[in-house]
Each structure stands twice: as C-alpha cells, then as structure tokens.
Copies of this chain bind each other. A is one copy, B any other.
Amino acid sequence: MPVDSRATLSTVAHRAGVSRQTVSNAMNSPEMLRPETLARVQQAIAELGYRPSRAAKALRTGAARAIGLALPPKAETGAGGVGDRFLHAVATAARNRGYRILLLAASSDDDELDQYEEVLAAREIESVLLTGTHHGDPRTAWLSREGVSFVTFGRPWGAQEEGTTHAWVDVDGAAGTDVAVTHLAALGHTRIGFVGWPAGSGVGDDRRAGWLRAVHRLRLAPAEQPSAWVARTDNDVRDARSAAATLIAERSATAVVCVSDTVALGALRAASEHPHTVAVAGFDDTPVAAAVGLTSLAQPLEVAAESAVALLLDERPAGTTPPPTHILLDPDLQVRESTGSRVATA
C-alpha cells in the first residue's frame, strides 16, 4: 500500500474506524485502549505512514516566520467572528514584527486541526492564532497537548474548568451590555429587556450576564424576575422580530438590549410596529448599525489583534508557548438614533 505523505489524525481515524481522540490516545496513552482497538489504530498508522506531529516538531527549528490563522466555514457575524478589520489588523501587527499570516480555510474543528498538523509538520508556520472559541472546543486541548505556541481570540468558555489554560485575548461582552443598560437607565428607562441567543453560547451568555448585572445594580424593573425579561432567538432578523415583539408586549418594555446587531434589527422592526417608542441597542457595531442608526457596542478589533500578536511574538524566544496571560478588552458604546431620546414621562 502506498504511503500517503498527507496522512493526518483524521485519515488514520477514518481508516481505523475510530475517533480522532482514540488515535491520539493510542499514541499518547495506549493503556487507555482495549488491545484490539490499539492494534487496529497501529495498523492504520503503519499503512498510511502517518507521522505524528510531535515527532515532526523536532525538525521545526527552521520554521517560517508565519502565524497560522483559520477562517471558520461560515462568516460568523459578531460572536468572535473574523472580519476584514480583524484580519487586516492581525496582518499588520505580524508584519511589524517581520511575520506573515498563513490563511487557512477550515470546514470543521477537526479539519482545522488536520491543517495545523500539516503546516506545522511542514514548518510553514511557527504558531497559531485561534479564533471562534466555543464550548466543547477540541482545538485548544490539541494545541496545548502538541506543545504548539498559540493564542486565542476568544475565551476558553468552560475548557478552563477542564484544566486547559492558555493565553487569550477577548472582548468583555458583559461590560458592553452593562454600559448599554446604564446608558438607557440614564435616559429614564426602567423597563429594559434582553433579547439573546439560546443559552449555551459562551459569547451570548456573557452578553446576557452584563445586562443582568446592570439591572440588579440599578434596581430596574427586571431585577425582580429577570428570566421573564429575557427573550431567546436564533441570530436571524425574522425570529428576533417576533421574540422582541412578544417581550415588548408582555412586559411593556420601553427598551431592549440585544445580543447582536442582527437580533437588534429584528427588535427595531418590532419596535416600529409598536405604538410607543421603544429604544433598541445592538452589539458588534457592524456596518448595518451605522446604516440604520442603531446604537451598538463596538469591539476594539485593532487592539485585540495587536494584543494577540504581541502575546505570540514579543518577549519570548520564537515558537515557545506564551504564558497564560488573559487580556479582556472593553467595547465602546456607539450611541445613535435608536436610543436617541429620553423616555416620555408617563
């Protein structure tokens, strides 16, 4: 059987009929496997001529001065997504240090890890800037285990409890929604709801937590029974419109803070159908927010990019693992027409 020089953990897993994790265990903790499974994996490794990247790492001294960055399969607006602005800032920060960005396109987390494995083994990159961290993310554990120099844009969301600590940069969503509520309260609003994504998203839950913190601190109407003031919706204008409409009608909310600009667009539509003025705030300050006059929270993407690259490249020998430094940046509230006026006194 010909040896496939591009064999990866996934191709071995597929051939052996097991998961990637099982292949990884076969190499690192073979005692965890039943002997027949171990034999099957070892046979697949031999047949495919798979060379685990740990072994390849010894050769990595001459690695290119490049950082790997993978685009997620679908552009995720907000939610740790990677836009033009972030990419430009990352490439500029890297260039200022004599480094390049190697752009990869991932179709899944596993596919992304396969690609890192390839380019690390081929010494095409020296480190990784990981984006779009999420609950149950297998990528940080893999990068840690392989001893790869990496930083994430996005917190570990739960992985820390499982013992994974690494350097990261993130934007403080809770601080953002707290500022939005505080701004609305200063305009006279007390009945301020939250339109969020389904529970379980790290980014979404964080943004909801800031709203909750502020309504408690400011003793606003929702503080008594907060869950009754939260509507859940997918990140879709139509769904968000009906979720917001229900919240506004049932609670007589005079303002809603939304988890994203897309959700806020739906809320704006619901508000426009309501007899009273309803203030709306979004998150991420996408071009659409400026276009429709939506108050929104702007992520400091240039600072985030510069910080992430600095963690990767500054003050340490190239290619070594950065210390688990955590940088949490505050977003800025961009006030526009959608929260433009004081609440009418009843």
Contacts and interface: CB of A to CB of B under 8 A. Distances in A.
Interface of A: 64, 66, 69, 71, 73, 75, 77, 81-85, 87-92, 95, 100-105, 107, 115, 119, 124, 237, 262, 265, 286-288, 290-292
B87 A95 contact: no
Given A288-B288, A291-B262, A292-B292, A87 B64 contact: no
Contacts of A287: 77, 262, 286, 288
A292 B83 CA distance: 21
B105 A69 contact: no
B64 A124 contact: yes
Contacts of A104: 91, 95, 100-101
A87 B103 contact: yes
15 contacts: A71-B87, A75-B84, A75-B85, A75-B88, A82-B84, A87-B87, A87-B103, A90-B105, A100-B119, A100-B124, A237-B292, A265-B291, A286-B288, A288-B288, A288-B291
A291 B91 CA distance: 30
Given A87-B87, A102-B66, A287-B288, A95 B115 contact: yes
A88 B76 CA distance: 12
Contacts of A73: 88
A85 B88 CA distance: 15
A11 B212 CA distance: 55
A102 B105 contact: no
